[in-house]
Amino acid sequence: MRWSQFFITTTKETPKDATAPSHQLMLRTGMIRQLAAGIYSYLPLGYRSLRKVEEIVRDEMNRAGAIELHMPVLHPIELWHQTNRVEAMGDVLLRLGGPEGDWRSQTVLGPTHEEVITEIARAYLGSYKQLPINLYQIQVKFRGEARPKSGVLRTREFLMKDAYSFHDSVESLDEGYKKMYAAYCRIFARCGLPYVAVEAESGPIGGDASHEFMVLTDAGEDYVALTEDGSYAANTERAVCAPLPAETAEMKALEEVHTPGQRTIDEVTAFLKLTPDRMIKTLIYTGTLTAGAEASKKAKPQEMTFVVLVRGDHEVNENKLNRVAGARLELATPAVIQALTGAEVGFAGPHSLKGTPGADFRLIVDQAVSVMQNGATGGNRTDYHVINVNPGRDFAVTGEGVVTADVRTVVDGDLAASGNGSPIRLRKAIEIGHVFKLGTKYSTSMKSHYLDKNGKSHPHIMGCYGIGLTRTLAAALEAYHDENGAVWPMSIAPFEVLIVSLDPNEPEVISTAQRLHDELSAAGVDVLWDDRDERAGFKFKDADLIGVPLRITVGRKSLADGVVELKRRSSPDVEKVNPAEAGAKAIAMVGEAKAALMAKADKAVR
């Protein structure tokens, strides 16, 4: 491909709206063009890379035995009512609109395809003989993101690979899940990405039922907890750590202190001259019990007040908390708080609440609080706090209506839960893939059943597996760029080799470049020839910007010395090569780079 006949729109200046490196580079290289918030065109250069990611994904999915199909973007909303997800998705579910009663008002744009695939399974996968099966597609998804951001990292329209597996046993699901997990490792390894698979929040099934594939970058929106020894990795939504050791100070007498108007941890610690880790944060929640919810759907939801204690420098982890409580908790209203504490909001403490645990409220003590001594907390009296509060002495940590558990989010410096003493580090990351055991959530609500060999009917046991393709592309750029531009891995670079011909009026330069171009092209290498009549510096800058991994420079000067120059984008080293051998050499280098990535894939399962 000649540059002059392709469509590349590089710019010297960085568009002001872009802050994330991947966004800036995709705009500057002309990979994408924004049409509206979170809505982008993929221009030819960007589309080439996207297609390469797509082909790797397709290749590995097929290799793992999955079967490709294609489902519609337009979904009847009725399907979403069947799984109760119209409410659950809220504004994320985009509707076509139109007058009431019109078909448009009954149609939504698909944000994901569990419903559609389950409708297909319901119709056709009626026998255990057809199971297991894994069906996937590569499709555009639409989501009403409240705040699209960082270019293509978070958009309202994006390309996704979504796969759904159907099984007749939990063991079969486990197997299918492992296959997908392995396929994902291979996919991201082949893309050359520095990914890490982490335990993720798993919803109703629990256990190890979900993993996210993350790329560590500051442009990410998630935090992952990684132990320094590499033995543990989890999303902070889920991450656990070793219990903190008991403090050993001598217990002092409880003492009330006047703290007029000091409500927040920051205010109180400043006022009392304490560090936040000496504070007990007392949070009051109202929860609706979910335990046994399946059976008691008709029963009135039972409301309960929960008092939750975490250390002042810690954050409550809502996922852990809801699990421990067996309820979905929401922060209580001021009226509830005032009734329980006898004070205004901001002065709650566990030591003198109105009522008894078990009967009037439940007390959930975070493990880190349970080992504190002489802590400070609210006085249950407006404008007062208490100091020298001791768990066990001043409030119960076990017993009727009281539970001590891990309900906080891990922090940097916590130690591995395994007890090997390795410290946990928190890193920002972007999620590019997610594998998930769904169980029978959708097959039950949509009545998608199969018959076992005894003729008995069961709901399909399902798994689902997603990769954000456009996001993967952006994540690769986040990981691989320098001050001059993109530095693409060979496997997903828009072109594999860039030939830069200088001196357009030198016949030998042009003929040499042409011959190299044809040779590489004939060998199946994706080669771009910058044949433009521009100055050398200009072309080199563009070359670095678009980040093609291998560059061959053909110019009058070097030809006079009987050589052309070979340079990797990732290295400053220049290799001088005989023009007759340069083609073969470049072909070999491309092959080696791809083989290296494939070799990584072969040992990628981790």
Q: Which residues here bind RNA, judged by CB under 7 A?
A: 10-17, 19-20, 23, 28, 34, 36-38, 85, 88-90, 92, 111-112, 143, 145-150, 203, 221, 434, 464, 466, 484, 502-503, 505, 535-538, 540-545, 553-559, 565, 567, 574
40 token code pair: 């982008």
Q: How far is CA 142 from the centre of its chain?
A: 17
Q: What is the largest CA-CA distance in the chain?
A: 94
Which residue in 43, 2, 134, 80 sits closest to 473, CA to CA?
Answer: 43
Contact 34, 43 (CB under 8 A): no
347 or 480: CB nearest RNA: 480
Give yes or no for a contact between 579 and 501, defined as CB atoms under 8 angstroms apart. no
- Smaller CB separation from RNA, 89 or 605: 89
Nearer to RNA, 117 or 371 (CB): 117
> ω before 148 within 30° of 0 (cis)?
no
The two beta strands, 133-142 and 233-235, are unpaired
Question: Is the CB of 350 or the CB of 468 nearer to RNA?
Answer: 468
> Nearest to residue 240, comparing CAs of 369, 414, 435, 428?
414
Minimum separation from the CB atom of position 54 to RNA (A): 18
The sign of the torsion formed by the CA atoms of 288, 291, 294, 296 equals negative
Smallest distance from the beta carbon of 553 to RNA, in angstroms?
5
d(CA 30, CA 319): 41
For 528, the token pair is 């771009």
Sign of CA dihedral 358, 364, 368, 372: negative
Query: Could you tell me which residues are beta bridge partners of residue 408?
Result: 316
**What's the closest the beta carbon of residue 574 comes to RNA, in angstroms?**
7
Closest distance of CB 102 from RNA, Å? 22
- Cα separation, 22 vs 428, in Å, equals 15
Least distance between RNA and beta carbon 260 (Å): 27
End-to-end, the C-alpha distance of the chain in Å comes to 39
Which residue number, 245 or 537, has a Cβ lying nearer to RNA? 537
- Residue 30 DSSP label: T
SS3 392: coil
**Distance in angstroms (rounded) separating the CA atoms of residues 257 and 254:** 10
Cα(195)–Cα(426) distance, integer angstroms: 15
Residue 553, Cα to own-chain centre: how many angstroms? 40
Q: How far is the CB of 265 from RNA (least distance, A)?
A: 16
User: Which CB, 20 or 397, lies closer to RNA?
Assistant: 20
- CB 90 to RNA: min, Å: 7
Best CA proximity match to 262, nearest among 352, 385, 389, 351 = 385
CB of 437 to RNA, least distance (A): 13
Considering the complex, state which of residue 104 and residue 557 has its C-beta at the smaller distance from RNA.
557
Nearest residue (CB) to RNA, 114 versus 168: 114
Shortest distance (Å) from residue 521 CB to RNA = 22
How far apart are alpha carbons 340 and 237 in whole angstroms? 30
Between 388 and 445, CB nearer to RNA? 445
Compare residues 385 and 441 and give the one whose CB is closer to RNA. Answer: 441
| Least CB distance to RNA at residue 502 (A) | 5
Sequence-distant (≥ 6) Cβ neighbours of residue 164 within 8 angstroms:
113, 114, 117, 118, 121, 134, 135, 136, 462, 463, 464, 465
Q: Which is nearer to RNA, 319 or 521 (CB)?
A: 319
* Least distance from RNA to the Cβ atom of residue 320, Å: 15
